[in-house]
Structure 1
Amino acid sequence: MNLWILNEFLYFPDNKAEYIPAVLEMAIILILCILVFNFFRKKAKRDLEKTREIEEKIFKEKNSSHK
């Protein structure tokens, strides 16, 4: 691919104040991503604990029925 084709799509503004909305949007999206990631981690941890409890319950019932 010719590099001159990409040059038409690049835009670097002379007024650096035009970067402010992009930086704010990027910060908001980054914060939201971190919050969602932490939510999924906590949810997965709770689900893992519930699964372990159910497995222990099933294992105890299985062992008590064999005796």
Structure 2
Amino acid sequence: MFTILNSFVLYMPFLYFPEDKTEYIPAAISMSVFIFAAILTFVLIKKVSKKQESKTKHLEDQIKQENKEKHL
């Protein structure tokens, strides 16, 4: 089993590892941009979610208050 897996890994023709390591620079830059965008999106989603949570809490408190006044 190990020899089959080992030979499969060794003879993967679709993998490309360049000799000139400067070819990694554009990939690193583009990966950095996408990671930054993902982090920014996550923070934005959390901020919007927190804002919606506070609006919902305010609305819930308002409805509870109206129900209390109605029952009195």
Normalised to the residue count of structure 1, the TM-score between the two structures is 0.92
Please report the RMSD computed on the Cα atoms of aligned residues, expressed in angstroms.
1.6
Selected match of 1:30 from 30, 35, 53: 35
Amino acid at match of 1:23: A
Query: Secondary structure of 1:19's match?
Result: helix
Query: Residue by residue, what CA displacement relative to the aligned partner does 1:4-44 show, whole Å, maximum 9, x if unpaired?
Result: 68611110000101000000000000000010000000000
Q: Return the alpha-carbon distance in structure 2 between the equivalents of residues 30 and 12 of structure 1.
A: 22
Q: Give matches, 1:1-67, under 5 Å.
A: 3=8, 7-67=12-72
Q: Return the alpha-carbon distance in structure 2 between the equivalents of residues 48 and 36 of structure 1.
A: 18
**Structure 2 residue runs without a partner (length 5+):** none
Q: Return the alpha-carbon distance in structure 2 between the equivalents of residues 54 and 30 of structure 1.
A: 36
Amino acid at match of 2:25: I
How many residues align structurally? Answer: 67
